[in-house]
Amino acid sequence: MQKSMNIRFAEGNDTRLILAFIRELADYENLLAEVTATEELLRKTIFEDRKAEVIIGEVDGEPVAFALFFSNFSTFLGKPGLYLEDLYVKEGYRGYGFGKQLLSFLANLVIERDYGRLEWWCLDWNKPSIDFYKKMGAEPMDEWTVFRLTGKELQQVAAGNSD
């Protein structure tokens, strides 16, 4: 059963709420121990430096969902894209079409901004989300492997000290 949700762009005074959503999502993904973000860091990177954007979904004025995203670039398309870092709907509000509404909002933003695509990652074990994305027509990119450098390894590569 689909219900209506108001979607708005987050503002600086939403920083505490954004961090709470991030922590809830991380807890759901069994990754809460990896969250090092703080309100101060989020306020600076999102609202001062404008490195990402956030939308908040509200039902009857209560925040129930969020999505954090930023621009990337496709050399093949020659256009920017929108990368969805996080999308989260609170547990009691799942099954009402709110995730679909957030993705629809973002897809419209991609079209409005004349970007080439909307993309995101999903954990392999998250079958409900994978099924949801496939049902919407999203294609899993199984032939790609994500690589990441952080911490000490990032520092070593930056210093030219990698093997």
Of the candidates 88, 96, 115, 133, the residue annotated as catalytic is 133
- Structural element, H or E, at residue 110: helix 98-112
Look-up: residue for tokens 């956030």? 54
Check if 133 is active-site. Answer: yes
Give the C-alpha separation, 26 to 46, whole Å.
19
Give the C-alpha separation, 56 to 63, whole Å.
7
Bridge partner list, 68: 54, 86
| CB contact set of 149 (below 8 Å; sequence gap of 6+) | 157
Residues 38/65, Cβ–Cβ less than 8 Å: no
- Looking at the annotation, which residues are catalytic? 133
